[in-house]
Chain A
Amino acid sequence: MSAEKLKLYQVGTFAVGNRLLDPEQRTVQARMERSNTLTSGHRACRGCGEALGARYALDAAMRATDGRLIAANATGCLEVFSTPYPESSWQLPWLHSLFGNAPAIASGIAAALKVKGRNDVRVIGQGGDGGTLDIGFACLSGMFERNDDVLYVCYDNEAYMNTGVQRSSATPPAARTANTKPLGDEPGNVFGQGKSAPLIAMAHEIPYVATATVADLHDLEDKIERAMEFHGARYVHILVPCPLGWGSEASETIKIARLAQETGLFPVFEAEAGEVVAVSPIRQRVSVEEYLRTQRRFAHLFGDPPRADVIAQLQSRADRNIRRFGLLAEEAA
């Protein structure tokens, strides 16, 4: 990202664009000629974070590759809401894979292109957190360790939303899902389970790993663009709130993603060859409570009796992220 101090443009680079900003500093999404890779008419719920995240990422990738892009898409919400036959919302070459083999399909496309000598065409694999972290994980790890020339993008909405909000290994502790009921002494999803796909990806020492949210568009696009500068396996993990599964207001999708970042619950960083090279610092720190209260999947923490102890446990998770990644300027020192 540009380090030089901008002249003041009211909203600087926080907003999508700005009439006063040099066109080069505006986002891809601000452009009239953006690809709209995921076009109107798709059947995603109102306020869908995944629909937003997918368009953000693929439009940025289309711009970075001059439109020479093929996508392989795991089964899941993103596939179901975008392609009920014979309609498709995709405006790029797009393949639907099984639930668990999108990374392998993407690897195969990359291999085929290599055989054909088409080094001008780039490949993206994509899926939700279930298809990526659980069902497709072996294929993903294989794609990483072979260093296949694929950018894999995971849209993380923290559960299996398409099948009715079941827990995945990306579901946060204490969250209510269809199979982690808010009952008993430890209501909701248990503490001490689940995994961090970005950190596991880093452990493969692939060229590039990054996290992003739909709340910081400039950052998200910069990371996709950066990922496209590398060849080999790359992984970008994007937090995409789900109003249906999280029990949040459709209008608050971006706000909630912003709160996830500002609490420290979702650390935003990028890594090259296994090492963290940059983090997005917290701008206005907020308590996890402010984040949790926006979502009914955490409503049982504020019921009768309220579970201040569980909230404190979640707060300490956020605090740990802040320490671990240096998300606050003063704590990083």
Chain B
Amino acid sequence: MMERPFAITLDVGSSRANKTGSWRTERPVYVHRLPPCSSACPAGEDVQQWLYDAEEGDGGYERAWRRIMDDNPFPAVMGRVCYHPCETKCNRGQLDEAVGINSVERFLGDEGIARGWRVEALMPPSGKRVLVVGAGPSGLSAAYHLARLGHAVTVYDAGPRPGGMMRFGIPKYRLPRDVLDAEIERILDLGVELELDRQVASVLDDMVAGGFDAVFLAVGAHLGKRAYIPAGSAAKVLDAVSLLRSMEGEEPPQLGRRVVVYGGGNTAIDAARTAKRLGAEEAIIVYRRTRERMPAHDFEVEEALEEGVLMKWLSTITNVDGGKLVVEQMELDETGFPQPTGHLEELEADSLVLALGQETDLSFVDGVPGLEIEDGVVSVDETMMTGYPGIFAGGDMVPAERTVTVAVGHGKQAARHIDAWLRSAELTPSVERQSADFGHLNTWYYTEAPRSLRPQLEAARRQSTFEEVVGGLDESTALYEARRCLSCGNCFSCDNCYGVCPDNAVIKLGGRDEPYAFDYDYCKGCGICAAECPCGAIEMVPEEI
């Protein structure tokens, strides 16, 4: 007698003979949409993907770190100095507060350093040689990616230490040097050769002399812009770039008790906060427009104000002499441009720091045929190549926003294009992904979870020391923060689709890359799975009839 299930006496056919998939007019399809964080990252990090790894904790941290390292060799630096456009765009911001992506990245970066995680080259040696001019964020990023792609890379830098503006522009209280050194060391460990104090007089000469197949230029913008201000003989005027650079020397600069900083960008804020730490009783920022129009990031302005930096809005400096400045009040016209009012006042100052922007010294590319310079920066095409075949450029010396993250992104982009150029291959463009907007999410499912804040050094110590101002998150807080990620547009295995299908037409495979599959034999196309997917990773597509 045939074995039958408990209490079954009659054989019946299963309804599985009835393929209800034929009812369907629309079919659900799993998609991977591009989350706003990843789309906003200037360094091209797949933020949502590494948060997904980090959410698992333990072994997930190293996977997350490696995923960042695929795009960016500086997670610990990024976690401190990036202005995190990812967080500005984060969909969670519309729910409660953006995910603290930057603080998670810092945690992962610090873990990487503490645990001594290393990366290896991805490709065997190609036999090609690439010269990188400038060991700043862009140059080092390019060198890192080129080395992983199998090329022999040599970096020349005119300075005494590598890091460029990360060392000579960003103050220690924002980026401790041991962190920077550790991440640079990891790049050099890939076999990248670094020559310091190495000026490049003519790039073509060096290219030929060194037998290089391609060159990446990333010398940055290290010359402080000067504005014409009539100045007497006794005036102490210096530019912010020089001030910040001299902080890396033996002798701290002497600025006096009252320091005035002229300008409204992030460099002006860095200069004023540095002056305060050097002992200035008053550090005053003079800016010709209003706070709302300051190019500096608001949180940095806020931190400076907390430290006692003073701000003088709508003011220009018209004269400097012997410890006195003449300041003229301005007003904004209807286009928002500042116009002089004729109201003058005097301001005492022992020194004046000019933070009016930076320029690039481009004399080393004089006479390179085809290389074009416009508005003081080098023109490049969409492959980051200059008008001279084989010479590429990036970072602050090409037209773009001047941030470390943008520079790192340039380095990666350039490296991929240089690699393609050296191999005479076409770079296959990555597949365009639909964006994952807030409207794609079903936010009901996410647990309420306010953002965790990073600890800050108390104000008294911030005014007198160069200790790091913003602290890191501990392990459990970083994990919590990573898990606040909504995983926009990408499945995170919540089992909703598997659970909510009235027809059991979702098969749970349990795999990491493909957790579920649709059983189109039975799917009636009701669309509950798509409607109840928290993260918008299912799309309903019309059937062809």
Measured CB to CB, the residues of A under 8 A from B are: 6-12, 14-20, 26-27, 29-30, 32, 36, 38-44, 46-49, 51-52, 55, 67-68, 70, 82-83, 85-89, 93, 121, 217, 243, 249-255, 258, 284
Contacts and interface: CB of A to CB of B under 8 A. Distances in A.
A17 B487 CA distance: 15
A19 B496 CA distance: 11
Interface in B494-534: 494-496, 498-500, 502-505, 508, 510, 515, 519, 521-522, 524-528, 530-532, 534
Contact of B447 (A14, A86, A121, A217): A14
Contacts of B487: 10
A167 B506 CA distance: 34
A46 B12 contact: no
B493 A87 contact: no
Contacts of A8: 447, 449, 480, 483-484
Given A10-B492, A251-B530, A89 B498 contact: no
Contacts of A55: 502, 504
Say what secondary structure dominates the interface of chain B: loop
A46 B524 contact: yes
Contacts of A83: 15
B521 to A, nearest CB: 8
Interface stretch (B17-25, B251-259, B318-326): B17-25
Contacts, number: 168
Chain B, interface size category, equals 35 or more
Given A87-B17, A258-B444, 15 more contacts: A10-B492, A11-B534, A12-B447, A14-B444, A14-B447, A15-B445, A16-B500, A17-B493, A17-B494, A29-B498, A29-B499, A40-B519, A46-B526, A47-B502, A254-B528
Contacts of B444: 14, 258, 284
A214 to B, nearest CB: 8
20 contacts: A7-B480, A8-B484, A10-B447, A16-B494, A17-B494, A19-B494, A29-B495, A29-B498, A32-B510, A40-B504, A41-B16, A41-B19, A43-B15, A47-B524, A47-B527, A48-B526, A49-B502, A51-B503, A251-B528, A255-B532
Contacts of B485: 10
Contact of B502 (A10, A14, A51): A51
Contact of A250 (B493, B528, B534): B528
A89 B502 CA distance: 12
Contact of B12 (A51, A86, A217, A243): A86
A70 B446 contact: no
Contact of B15 (A29, A40, A93): A40
B52 to A, nearest CB: 10
B77 to A, nearest CB: 28
A87 B446 contact: no
